[in-house]
Amino acid sequence: MIGLDDLPIRDDLRGLSPYGAPQLDVPVRLNTNENSHPLPAAVAEAIGKALTAELRDLNRYPDRDALALRSDLATYLGHGLTADHVWAANGSNEIQQQLLQAFGGPGRSALGFSPGYSMHPLLALGTGTRWVPARRGADFGLTADEAVAQVGEHRPDVVFLCSPNNPTGTALDPAVIRAVLDAAPGMVVLDEAYAEFARPGTVSALSVLPGHPRLVVTRTMSKAFGFAGGRLGYLAADPAVVAAVQLVRLPYHLSALTQAAARAALAHRDALLGTVSEIIEQRDRIVGELRRRGLRVADSDANFVLYEVGGDQSVAWRALLEYGVLVRDVGVPGWLRVTAGTRSETDAFLAAVDSVQRGGPVAPQPRPTKGTS
């Protein structure tokens, strides 16, 4: 057998490892920002019926342009959007990859503000787009002046913004978005994967879309909808952007089964989004309890919390793992990220934090009951 380095792969891929969080069989998994609540039985049944209805025609290709699904997504988003403003793919990562294929590529650059979503520079690498790492402030915030100065210095073809930001959880002021749109020479991609968890008063970039044809808002059904296994992401933008992305999409990229399952989930969105308030409750509980324990915590509008551990985050990560709790080391020195799950998962996480702080003996953690809050 040969090794990876024995193959004639691109030089810029040598020495790299595939993206991915650890997938470990532990009692409490709070590392990938999944929705911990399983689908309600009625929704699972509806999705099953929708899939069954597609089975006889699996010998045929799916609707290449997913028009019915795009129409349903536009209805969900509101803001006067139609199917012509929406595009869907296998997760928001594929959406963003397609955007870089259309607007980035060799000889072009993309800029993002760190700490930010770690897939963005990897998507740039995969599409041959030069990545420009810009910086957030010491408090993980981003002001209009800071953003404009860095965009003006580098003049990127694509700017990535995240609101709420991953991994910090912080939402952007719409003034920052507008300022970046005015300063950027190319496209501005606003990643709103966690928009449904934002605190009251947080404004979506969807409200900024009118009159800004270079703005793209990307969303996902993985988080608030609890549809991570369904792999459905989408964008909202000017119809010309949708036409541009169609130039680079693979034919029939979105299977008939994915389209049917996503449409059934959207038809039951009230039931699926019913867990959002419970997740927000646990997120705010985590923020409050960690601060009560004397830890620094970033304000969060997402379904996760970034908090300072007071030392080497890799050591703290392993210590929590010994108590059966898996969180995420996102590479921010001294900080860890924890997903807000069910009430019992929060109980287990906080108990593990207390045990680590005390330096007590490791005790096995029971697996929380699925769906408990």
CB atoms within 10 A of CB 152: 11
150 shares its domain with 56: yes
Q: What is the pLDDT of residues 41-99, one digit of tens each?
A: 999 999 999 999 999 999 999 999 999 999 999 999 999 999 999 999 999 999 999 99
Give yes or no for residue 368 having a pLDDT over 70. Answer: no
For the chain, percent of residues with pLDDT exceeding 90: 88
What would the mean pLDDT of 110-126 be, rounded to a whole number?
A: 97
- Report the percent of the chain where pLDDT is more than 70: 96
pLDDT at residue 19 greater than cutoff 90: no
| pLDDT of 361 strictly over 60 | no
CATH (domain of 258)? 3.40.640.10
Query: 111 and 48 in one domain?
Result: yes
Residue 373 above 60 pLDDT?
Answer: no
Provide the token pair at 9.
């792969």
- Position 340 scores a pLDDT of 98
Maximal CA-CA distance, the chain: 61
pLDDT at 119 over 50: yes
Distance of alpha carbon 264 from alpha carbon 47, whole angstroms: 5
What DSSP string runs through 191-260? Answer: E-TTGGGPPTTPPPGGGG-TT-TTEEEEEESSSTT--GGG--EEEEE-HHHHHHHHTTSPTT-S-HHHHH
User: Is-contact 328 336, C-beta < 8 A?
Assistant: yes
Pair 71, 182 in one domain: yes
- The mean pLDDT value of the chain amounts to 94
175 and 26 in a common domain: no
Q: Quick one: pLDDT at residue 275?
A: 96
Q: What is the mean pLDDT of residues 215-222?
A: 98
Q: Mind listing the pLDDT tens digit for each residue in 134-178?
A: 999 988 999 999 999 999 999 999 999 999 999 999 999 999 999
Is 1 within the bounds of a domain?
A: no
Q: Over the stretch 92-116, which tens digit does the pLDDT of each residue have?
A: 999 999 999 999 999 999 999 999 9
Stretch 20-45: mean pLDDT, rounded?
Answer: 92
Do 239 and 288 lie in one domain? The reply is: no
pLDDT: is 368 or 27 the higher one? 27
Last residue of a domain, one of 246, 267, 288: 267
Look at residue 241 in the predicted model and tell me its pLDDT: 98
In the prediction, which pLDDT does 144 show?
97
Please report whether residue 370 resides in a domain. no
For 221, the token pair is 């059904």
- Domain span at 158: 41-267
CB 106 within 8 A of CB 82: no
What confidence category does residue 354 fall into, taking pLDDT thresholds of 50, 70 and 90? very high
State the CATH number of the domain containing residue 295: 3.90.1150.10
